[in-house]
Structure 1
Amino acid sequence: MKLSIIGSGYVGTTIAACFADLGHDVVNVDIDEDVVEALNDGRSPIHEPGLDELIEEHAGDRLRATTDYDAVLDTDVTFLALTTPSDDDGHIDLSIMEAATKSLGSTLAEKDSDHLVVTKSTVVPTTTEEVITPILEEHSGKTAGEDFDVGMNPEFLREGSAVSDFLDPDKVVLGSNTSRGAATMRAVFDPLLERAPDAALVETGIREAEMIKYANNAFLAAKISLANDLANICKEYGVDSKEVLDAIGLDSRIGSAFLGAGVGWGGSCFPKDVAAIVAAARDVGYDPAMLEATMEVNDRQPVRMLDILRDHVDPDGARVAVLGLAFKPGTDDVRNSRAIPLVDALVDAGADVVGYDPVATANFREKFPDIDYADSAAAALDGADAALVVTDWDEFAALDDEFDAMSEAVVVDGRRIVTRRDGIVYESLV
């Protein structure tokens, strides 16, 4: 089939390359000329394992990019893969989505044949039907369900493993309110379901598909926060939290995934999605106490890390190495990284901060241009009074003699990956 993807961020770029790999003809539409040029040159505009290879393989053949919305006219299906950031009170900001939808609607006014518009962005229930569809109708002069169809296809991509998550999914969720739209969506995903026969196919309504995405992320975020809460209690009692969490993870009703206690969750999805569903719940008069507690526990973890540091080193005037700036290993994304509130607190406390990350330093420097940065973990540790491990990159687990170069070898491990050894004062967060 011929597909158009509006937006070339993490989701848009990944699904475009993956759809091309499945045999579809794909065009990315984006307003950023640098991103368009990179894709047409066979280069990925983002750091994501496996994505460079797919784009290099398919660019100029089944994958191309443009700034011209008219490219949509030659396609059968358009996916809206645009960012929906949080505003100050947690609601999603739809301004980018609305602007793109207006442009898409104006373009569809020139199209005679049937077309399917699929929301791929994460939006709260009713958004596709009550915001996106009316804009499309107004600007195209056409009627949804008659002249074109709308659908919802939430993504479940984890940064650092997005390509494999798409091509080997646990589930594929297709939301549609018309039989024609549902049939078209199935045709788009048939090649994927043939390649990944164990994936569950969930066909549902549009609002249900929108909610499934939020429910999925809210549950996982809550599971992590519960694990952190339990681990914090373990630490107060001198109990090994890893042994406890490993044991309960053996229960088939619980499972071991997302029980890794530490400094908390970040990234582009969990913080935004939990805040958005909390705000949406309040809008309809419901108090989501569990999800509010989920966010509260997560916000406390970096503060606890600094409190543990203060038991050994006064941060005022101390040189503190922060190891790991990306929100998780395998990506250069620093959005809502737990290093951000931690570095903020260290700077406020008067610490001399030096940061290091294998790939995310440039992005973190945009937020904190005035702290020091090292080009290796060893360089960051050299002369430091303390080290805080924030992201669980494999190279940090291999650190050993590098700690000997510290002025005072105090290590607070937020991910419990450093091996405790003689010669360092080691504290795990949990």
Structure 2
Amino acid sequence: MKISVIGTGYVGLVTGTCLAETGNEVLCIDINEDKVKQMQQGIVPIYEPHLDVLFERNIKANRLRFSTSLEEGLKHGDIIFLALPTPEDEDGSADLSYVLGAATDIGKLIKDYKVIVDKSTVPVGTSEKVQETIAKETDVPFDVVSNPEFLREGFAVDDFLKPERIVIGSSSDRATQLMEKLYKPFVRSGNPIIIMDEKSAELTKYAANSFLATKITFMNEIANFCEKVGADVDLVRIGMGTDSRIGKRFLFPGIGYGGSCFPKDVKALHKSGKENNYDFDILNSVIKINDVQKKVLIPRIVSYFNQNLKDKTFAIWGLAFKPETDDIREAPALYIIEELLKQGATLNVFDPEAMPNVKKKFGEQLNYTSNMYEATKNADALIICTEWSIFRTPDFNKLKQNMSQPAIFDGRNLYDVKDMKSTGFYYNSIGRQAVN
């Protein structure tokens, strides 16, 4: 099939590349000329495990091409994916200007029947708005479909190629048949293609992400309470997770969720509720609690150093909002960095992938180190913000030799409390008792 993908951000690039991998002819469109030139040369503009291999293979096979011309994209594709940004507006709502702007342009350029697919995460009713926007500009027949993505950063390629389910919101038999044909190669193992109306499809994505964010936030609340009463959140988590009604995933406490999806989607659903005279009280609490949780280590650090962080040096391991990505959007590490800088601390930071993005934000305010151990040299404490695998089994003797004093504040509970008692470190984590 011939596919065009408008927008080559995280979702668009993974979508285009993976669709090309199953033999489709894919043309990706982006207005950024420099970015398009880079991609034409085989340079992947984002970090996502395994994407580079598929990217290179499909460019060589001429199944994956790039252009800045929307007109070319409309001529090429029978199915047109809109994978455009929907950033958070000042009031928490999703900004649809990119999506509706593209819809206006499509209306002016469309020459024959197309299926227009909303791949971006958009509020309920967006497909209707896209339909109306295009229809204002043309009499050419077309259909608008909602096809939300369920891609986890760090696992996006696998999630796309082997999806647990595919959701298609469509009221058109013609469009539905084309979408089912497109996705059939991805569900050979029997996982479902779920057909529903457009509004239900749009809400499904927001509901799924908001539920997972709520699950994380509830576990963080339990962790904070564990510290008050002397319970161990690890044991509570295991006791809860073995209940099949609850499940083991998303029960790990920490310093809050971040990224491009959960924060934005929770706020957008909360705002959509207000616009429709419905109060999502639970989401209001999730937002407030997560904002506090991102900084939960700060008062502990301040207390440990007797209310004075000036001239103290801290090593920070992990800057991305989660491992296996360079994405720092809403990353808890950023909030911790800002607070420590305000209090006069010196920060040595390390992350396997995200340091270039952090440098764009903080410039020379931070010391960017070449490896995890270099970051700990002369540090008064180590702060762990992201659970990269390389941080899980450090040489504690080497850390002790490097650091001015042995103190670790672990925002991701990487180490066993019992094991830490024998290392000689002060160890403070989430939902567990601190040890010396």
Aligned residue for 1:275? 267
Aligned residue for 2:414? 417
Aligned residue for 2:434? none
C-alpha deviation, 1:238, in angstroms: 1.8
Aligned residue for 1:331? 325
Structure 2 distance, partners of 1:189, 1:105, is 26
C-alpha deviation, 1:416, in angstroms: 0.7
C-alpha deviation, 1:311, in angstroms: 2.8
Structure 2 distance, partners of 1:364, 1:286, is 38
Structure 2 distance, partners of 1:8, 1:117, is 16
1:9-24 alignment, distance < 5 Å:
9-24=9-24
1:127-146 alignment, distance < 5 Å:
127-129=126-128, 131-139=129-137, 141-142=138-139
Could you say what secondary structure the match of 1:311 adopts?
helix
* Structure 1 segments (4+ residues) deviating >3 Å: none
C-alpha deviation, 1:41, in angstroms: 2.2
1:150-169 alignment, distance < 5 Å:
150-169=144-163
Aligned residue for 1:254? 246
- Matched AA of 2:372: A
Which segment is superposed worse, 323-332 or 417-426? 417-426
Could you say what secondary structure the match of 2:136 adopts?
helix
C-alpha deviation, 1:227, in angstroms: 0.6
Q: Which runs of 5+ in 1 are unaligned?
A: none
- Matched AA of 2:119: K
C-alpha deviation, 1:80, in angstroms: 0.2
Aligned residue for 1:306? 298
CA offset digits 1:326-348 (Å, max 9, x no partner)? 00000001001001111111112
2:117 equivalent to 1:118 = yes
CA offset digits 1:79-103 (Å, max 9, x no partner)? 0000100011101111222222222
2:82 equivalent to 1:80 = yes
CA offset digits 1:393-417 (Å, max 9, x no partner)? 1111121233211111111000011
Could you say what secondary structure the match of 2:218 adopts?
helix
Structure 2 distance, partners of 1:401, 1:134, is 65
2:41 equivalent to 1:41 = yes
- Matched AA of 1:229: E
TM-score normalised per structure 2: 0.94
Could you say what secondary structure the match of 1:150 adopts?
strand
CA offset digits 1:17-45 (Å, max 9, x no partner)? 10011111110011112222232222311
C-alpha deviation, 1:132, in angstroms: 1.2
Could you say what secondary structure the match of 2:108 adopts?
helix
Structure 1 distance, partners of 2:260, 2:379, is 31
Structure 2 distance, partners of 1:124, 1:2, is 28
Aligned residue for 1:237? 229
Structure 2 distance, partners of 1:95, 1:322, is 37
2:225 equivalent to 1:225 = no
Structure 2 distance, partners of 1:73, 1:19, is 18
Q: RMSD in angstroms over aligned alpha carbons?
A: 1.3
Q: Quick check: 2:131–2:143 contact (8 Å CA) kept in 1?
A: no
Which segment is superposed worse, 238-247 or 94-103? 94-103
- Matched AA of 1:119: D
Could you say what secondary structure the match of 2:19 adopts?
helix
300, 310, 320: which one aligns with 1:316: 310
2:341 equivalent to 1:347 = yes
Total equivalences in the alignment: 420
Aligned residue for 1:213? 205
1:62-81 alignment, distance < 5 Å:
62-71=63-72, 72-81=74-83
Aligned residue for 1:390? 385
Structure 2 distance, partners of 1:238, 1:403, is 28
Could you say what secondary structure the match of 1:309 adopts?
helix
C-alpha deviation, 1:267, in angstroms: 0.3
Structure 1 distance, partners of 2:315, 2:102, is 42
- Matched AA of 1:24: N
Which segment is superposed worse, 263-272 or 39-48? 39-48
Structure 1 distance, partners of 2:214, 2:263, is 11
CA offset digits 1:316-373 (Å, max 9, x no partner)? 3211111110000000010010011111111122211222111100101111112222
CA offset digits 1:44-91 (Å, max 9, x no partner)? 111000100001000141110100112221221000000100011101
- Matched AA of 1:94: L
Q: Quick check: 1:39–1:55 contact (8 Å CA) kept in 2?
A: no
Structure 2 distance, partners of 1:317, 1:90, is 38
- Matched AA of 1:402: K
- Matched AA of 2:150: F
- Matched AA of 1:281: G
- Matched AA of 2:125: T
Q: Quick check: 1:41–1:59 contact (8 Å CA) kept in 2?
A: no
TM-score normalised per structure 1: 0.95
391, 397, 404: which one aligns with 1:401: 397
286, 290, 293: which one aligns with 1:294: 286
- Matched AA of 1:270: F
377, 399, 404: which one aligns with 2:372: 377
Aligned residue for 1:59? 59
CA offset digits 1:227-268 (Å, max 9, x no partner)? 110111111222110111011100000000101111111000
Structure 1 distance, partners of 2:154, 2:23, is 24
